[in-house]
Amino acid sequence: MSPKLKNCSNCGRIFVDTGLGICRDCHEKEEEEMQKVSSYVRDNPHSRVRDICDALGVKERLVMRMIREGRFVMDGVAIEYPCESCGTLITVGRFCDKCNRDLQAQLSQQQQKLAAQAAKEKVSGSKVIRSLDMGMKGFR
Ligand SMILES: [Zn+2]
Ligand SMILES: [Zn+2]
């Protein structure tokens, strides 16, 4: 296989992609910045993403990626950032507990609806399964 040439998604330079999506220079710079963020968070536990960006001049995107990759959890520090849904400050995952519960409820509701719809479509006209359906309704 010949190496793939790509534009660095960070600086736009053409480079040989090794699966990082960004060029070597940018990758090295990011690693350096991540190191800085890691040590900053260790010194200032429970910092907010904004504080880190302001203090170090790094991109919020980078800090968020580190959070998603679980870097801070590995370091044993908590960093606070807003829930993607309601903005409550959280330290793990993408959503706060409440939104997680809401999402779960929404998801299972949607699944039930889809399942019911699929069942209806499959059996339209069939008496046997319709009576089964009614039995289930009575059961609920
Ligand atoms: Zn680059
Ligand atoms: Zn939330």
Amino acid in position 107: L
Q: What is the pLDDT of residue 136?
A: 52
Between CA 107 and CA 115, with CA 113 as vertex, the angle to 5 degrees is 100
Q: What is the pLDDT of residue 95?
A: 92
Look up tokens 């995952």; give the residue.
93
8: closest CA among 34, 33, 26?
26
Q: Is pLDDT larger for residue 46 or for residue 107?
A: 107
Between CA 99 and CA 62, with CA 84 as vertex, the angle to 5 degrees is 145
Per-residue DSSP letter, 3: P
CA of 68 to the centre of ligand 2 (A): 16
How confident is residue 94, by pLDDT bands cut at 50, 70 and 90?
Answer: confident
Q: Is pLDDT larger for residue 80 or for residue 2?
A: 80
Provide mean pLDDT across the span 73-78.
74
67: closest CA among 95, 102, 44, 88?
95
Q: State the average pLDDT for the chain.
A: 84
CA of 83 to the centre of ligand 2 (A): 5
CA of 60 to the centre of ligand 2 (A): 19
Other beta carbons within 10 angstroms of residue 112's beta carbon come to 10
Give the ligand whose atoms come closest to the C-alpha of residue 28: 1
**Domain chopping of the chain, boundaries:** 97-140
How confident is residue 4, by pLDDT bands cut at 50, 70 and 90?
Answer: confident
State yes or no: pLDDT of 106 exceeds 60.
yes
Q: What is the pLDDT of residue 46?
A: 79
Q: If residue 23 lies in a helix (H) or strand (E), which one and from where to where?
A: none
State yes or no: pLDDT of 78 exceeds 80.
no
How confident is residue 122, by pLDDT bands cut at 50, 70 and 90?
Answer: confident
Cα–Cα distance between 79 and 61 in angstroms, integer?
Answer: 14
How confident is residue 124, by pLDDT bands cut at 50, 70 and 90?
Answer: low
C-beta of residue 133 within 8 angstroms of C-beta of residue 123: yes
Other beta carbons within 10 angstroms of residue 62's beta carbon come to 18
